Amino acid sequence: MTRRATREAFGETLIELVKEGLDVMAVDADLAGSTKTAQLGAYDPDRLVDVGIAEQDMIDVAAGLALTGRTVFTGSFAVFGTGRCYDQIRNTVCDSNLDVKVCPTHAGITVGEDGATHQMLEDITLMRVLPNMRVLVPADYWAAKAALRLAAKTPGPVYVRLGRHKVPLVYDETFVGGLPFAGVVREGTDVTIAAAGVEVSQALAAADLLEQDGISAEVLDIFSVKPLDEETILASASKTGHVVTCEEHSVYGGVGSAIAELLGEKLPVPCHRVGMKTFGTSANGDVLLHHFGLDGEGIAQEVKKALGR
């Protein structure tokens, strides 16, 4: 099975956008090689600004460039690119509704051996609550390219969550996504598994395991966390009557919370959230997914618990 990291799409897509005529720039914080924005700098040095280890400056420089009419992407790792510069994202970018796209890499526990200090598990929560900010969580390389293209062509702030870990391909080059968008990647009748990011492929694996036990699981890809594709989510929940959310992120304030809020307001059905409730630890990304019950096996077990309640 082909596996590619979502961060691999970053530099490549920025170059494609420039070639298509968009006035795109990137600002990074001494991590351009890891985030892949260095590829844009190699293609056109005038389109990449590296501010050094200074994420607050990164956001403010991006804001300044956006005020000149450019579409600006920021890099860094997610733990630094959202947490360390939250004040600047909130008060400089979002309050003024600037055309800055916050697109850090290395999100979630699949950062792996870098450990808990670098495993950002709160970024969706932080970005989702901000007025004017849209939040996209791509499931694979092709979805990441689509998310970056959507971000570039959508006026105002957009957050795109990218990862370091190589994950299975769910889509192909024809995928376009949307704002909002939730895709039915597998149809089922007994339970809805609403997954985001790297968890989409794990949810599909869980559905295979559940099928062996006679449980028909419908799998949704929550590509757009804000805004939510309410119509698709509600239609699936209405059909199955049970929802299990799964995310490589804290269960507090993330994808599961967003869906639980929607169901609580418009379609009260049982909703069980699977995700992180602690900090992570240092190990290989796949090992961590299994350890924290976020692989196919762990999700399948949680679905059975949810259906048994």
Q: What is the mean pLDDT of residues 41-54?
A: 97
The reply to whether 164 and 136 lie within a common domain is: yes
Nearest-5° angle of CA 245, CA 222, CA 268? 50
Per-position DSSP letters for 104-126, written without gaps between them: -B-BSGGGGGG-GGG-B-SHHHH
- Residues in CB range of 29: below 8 A, 6 or more apart: 50, 51, 52, 53, 54, 55, 57, 58, 75, 76, 80, 81
Instruction: Pick the more confident residue, 1 or 158.
Output: 158
Q: What is the pLDDT of residues 217-250, one digit of tens each?
A: 999 999 999 999 999 999 999 999 999 999 999 9
The number of folded domains in the chain is 2
The reply to whether 24 and 85 lie within a common domain is: yes
The reply to whether 164 and 187 lie within a common domain is: no
**How large a percentage of the chain has pLDDT more than 70?**
99
Q: What is the pLDDT of residues 201-214, one digit of tens each?
A: 999 999 999 999 99
Q: What is the mean pLDDT of residues 103-125?
A: 97
- β-bridge pairing 158-160 and 183-186: unpaired
Active site residues: 55
The reply to whether 211 and 78 lie within a common domain is: no
Confidence bin at 309 (pLDDT 50/70/90): low
Residue 174 domain flag:
no
Q: What is the mean pLDDT of residues 109-138?
A: 97
Please state the φ and ψ torsions of residue 259, each to the nearest 5 degrees. Answer: -70, -40
The reply to whether 134 and 249 lie within a common domain is: no
The reply to whether 135 and 227 lie within a common domain is: no
Confidence bin at 93 (pLDDT 50/70/90): very high
Write out the residue range of the structural domain in which residue 98 sits: 3-168
- β-bridge pairing 224-226 and 243-250: unpaired
pTM of full prediction above 0.95: yes
The reply to whether 104 and 161 lie within a common domain is: yes
Q: What is the pLDDT of residues 265-307, one digit of tens each?
A: 999 999 999 999 999 999 999 999 999 999 999 999 999 999 9
